[in-house]
């Protein structure tokens, strides 16, 4: 009994279209186009399996490379940051003001473009987090769990081993979590002692 080879007839148009598109639009396929050259020597089924495997596994050479983080920040300084905060498909332009003190700790104030304070926190040298001011966008529990942790990862003296921070360039960092990311640049650094009043935990909000 003879069975019709319908699978070959259905496979061929898709196979040809996929290879043609990979040749004409290499920017959409990246390193996968390197395999187009020897694809015809394989069977159609083998080639399709190869292409599917490559798409599923990904191409390691296309992943952006990050520079090893160098935490050579001055122990006493005042920094100005510009950041793009992305969460749930929305982006927010933020400005950060960070005061560093060997004896007082870290005081970070995050504001939006119009000047509203989104978050204000103090992390003392012993690691205690004090919420100086919160907002609907950055609630106290969110500041404690994420903002303080990211601050320690990037500027702390004892960052965690698995900090989600990569250095893209000098003074340019990317903090990337599963559901949000922060593209941060240090635009100005003024070295010198900071006022002790900035590191007074008694001024924190009573939560």
Please indicate, yes or no, if residue 120 is contained in any of the structural domains: yes
Residues 88 and 137 in one domain: yes
Exposure class string for 29-67: b at 16+ Cβ within 10 A, else e: beebbebbeebeeeebeebbeebeebeeeeeeeeeeeee
Distance (Å, whole) CA 174 – CA 166: 5
Distance (Å, whole) CA 155 – CA 159: 8
The arrangement of strands across the sheet holding 165-169 comes to: 129-133, 117-123, 105-112, 90-101, 77-87, 180-191, 172-176, 165-169
Q: Determine contact, residues 78/98, Cβ cutoff 8 Å.
A: yes
Predicted local distance difference test score (pLDDT) of residue 116: 92
Please give the model's pTM, rounded to 2 decimal places.
0.68
Please indicate, yes or no, if residue 72 is contained in any of the structural domains: no
Residues 33 and 115 in one domain: no
Distance, C-alpha 20 to centroid of its chain: 35
- Parent domain of 51: 6-62
Please indicate, yes or no, if residue 162 is contained in any of the structural domains: yes
Q: Return per-residue pLDDT of the chain as tens, 207 residues.
A: 554 444 444 445 555 555 555 554 554 445 544 444 544 444 555 555 555 555 545 554 444 455 556 667 999 999 999 999 999 889 999 999 999 999 999 999 999 977 899 999 999 999 999 999 999 999 999 999 999 999 999 998 777 778 899 999 999 999 999 999 999 999 999 999 999 999 999 989 876
Predicted local distance difference test score (pLDDT) of residue 199: 97
Tell me the angle at which helices 44-57 and 6-24 cross, rounded to the nearest 10 degrees: 50
Residues 96 and 195 in one domain: yes
Q: Determine contact, residues 118/112, Cβ cutoff 8 Å.
A: yes
Sole residue written with tokens 């500027």: 155
Residues 85 and 57 in one domain: no
């Amino acid at each position: 009994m003879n069975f019709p080879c319908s699978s070959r007839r259905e496979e061929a148009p898709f196979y040809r279209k996929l290879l043609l598109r990979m040749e004409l639009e290499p920017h959409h396929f990246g390193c996968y186009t390197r395999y187009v050259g020897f694809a015809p020597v394989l069977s159609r089924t083998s080639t399709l399996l190869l292409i599917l495997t490559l798409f599923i596994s990904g191409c390691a050479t296309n992943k952006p490379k990050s520079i090893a983080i160098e935490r050579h920040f001055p122990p006493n300084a005042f920094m100005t940051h510009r950041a793009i905060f992305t969460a749930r498909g929305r982006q927010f332009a933020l400005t950060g003001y960070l005061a560093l003190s060997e004896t007082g700790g870290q005081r970070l104030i995050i504001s939006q473009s119009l000047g509203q304070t989104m978050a204000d926190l103090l992390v003392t040298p012993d690691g205690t987090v004090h919420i100086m001011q919160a907002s609907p966008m950055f609630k106290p529990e969110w500041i404690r769990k994420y903002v303080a942790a990211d601050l320690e990862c990037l500027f702390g003296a004892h960052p965690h081993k698995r900090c989600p921070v990569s250095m893209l360039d000098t003074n340019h960092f990317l903090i990337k979590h599963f559901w949000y990311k922060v593209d941060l640049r240090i635009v100005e650094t003024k070295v010198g002692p900071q006022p002790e009043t900035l590191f007074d935990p008694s001024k924190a909000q009573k939560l």
